[in-house]
Amino acid sequence: MEYTFRILRFDPQTDESPYFQNFLFETDLNKSILEALMTIRNEQDGSLSFRYSCREAICGSCAMVINGRFDLACRTEIQSLNSPQIVIEPLPNMEIQKDLVVDMDPFWKALHAIKPYVQSNGDIPENGYRIEDREIDKIFQYVNCILCGSCYSACPVVSRNEDYLGPAALAKLLRFVKDPRDKRLFADYAGVSTKDGVWGCHTIFKCNEACPKDVRPADGIEALRRKMVVEKVKSLFRINR
Ligand code: FES
């Protein structure tokens, strides 16, 4: 079977604007989009640029837009697309560095802002932490995030407000706030109670659609909003957490 890969190309050093280039790719095997891109690069155009690492849907680096849908190139099988033409585009909302490689600095900056790691108070149990299943259940959905950037890229609020933290960072914040090992206080994350933070979300749910791991970041933002309201009321009535 012959497929036409219509790939968005752009080299800011030499091109005035992005353009599509067609490549023919022939296979009767059920190859992944990533395997096809690697073959095209190896056999047809060595300058074709894209990111990948694990090839097992774990690292998140091969996220791109495939026939209009956000997905990981390494886990998308060509035959599953049921189309002889496959359009490949880089993640939107981020500047193209070259072809399918985008500048993810704004995404990492937003993530860094919420301090995405467990903040203990130094009181670590001698035999380590033991977390109950019901506590794991509260955060498991968000632990699955592989930081591929698809949700950030799909978010219409990010496209209009570059200061908005975006779905991945806010859902990740909830993941730590709900983690029983994390001892951060409301005052430590109350700063995201702004239009650039938790109240910036317009609940359009594009992030839920885009996530290749079913993390449903919009659910996390909603839960974080509820938590912030509760904490705010508590703080007004001076009730300790
Ligand atoms: Fe790691 Fe695709 S290469 S997720």
Per-position pLDDT tens, the chain of length 241 = 999 999 999 999 999 999 999 999 999 888 999 999 999 999 999 999 999 999 999 999 999 999 999 999 999 999 999 999 999 999 999 999 999 999 999 999 999 999 999 998 888 888 888 889 999 999 999 999 999 999 999 999 999 999 999 999 999 999 999 999 999 999 999 999 999 999 999 999 999 999 999 999 999 999 999 999 998 888 888 655 5
179 and 153 together in one domain = yes
8 A C-beta contact, residue 60 and residue 148: yes
66 and 132 together in one domain = no
92 and 112 together in one domain = no
pLDDT at 127: 87
8 A C-beta contact, residue 89 and residue 65: yes
Is the CB of 74 within 6 Å of ligand 1? yes
8 A C-beta contact, residue 28 and residue 38: no
Q: What is the CATH number of the domain that holds 25?
A: 3.10.20.30
pLDDT at 171: 97
Which atom belonging to ligand 1 lies closest to the Cα atom of 53?
A: 3
Of 50, 54, 71, best ligand 1 pocket probe by most atoms within 8 Å of the beta carbon: 54
Is the CB of 72 within 6 Å of ligand 1? yes
Query: What is the distance, to the nearest Å, from the Cα of residue 75 to the centroid of all Cα atoms in its chain?
Result: 15
57 and 95 together in one domain = yes
Give me the DSSP letters along 52-84.
-SSSSSSS-TTEEEETTEEEETTT-BGGGG--S
Of 52, 64, 144, best ligand 1 pocket probe by most atoms within 8 Å of the beta carbon: 52
130 and 87 together in one domain = no
- CA distance linking residue 211 with residue 213, whole number of Å: 5
94 and 122 together in one domain = no
55, 83, 102 - which closes a domain: 102
57 and 125 together in one domain = no
Number of domains in the chain: 2
Question: Minimal CA–CA distance to 92: which of 77, 106, 102?
Answer: 102
Cβ burial, residue 64 (10 Å; 0-12/13-18/19+): buried
- CA distance linking residue 115 with residue 110, whole number of Å: 9
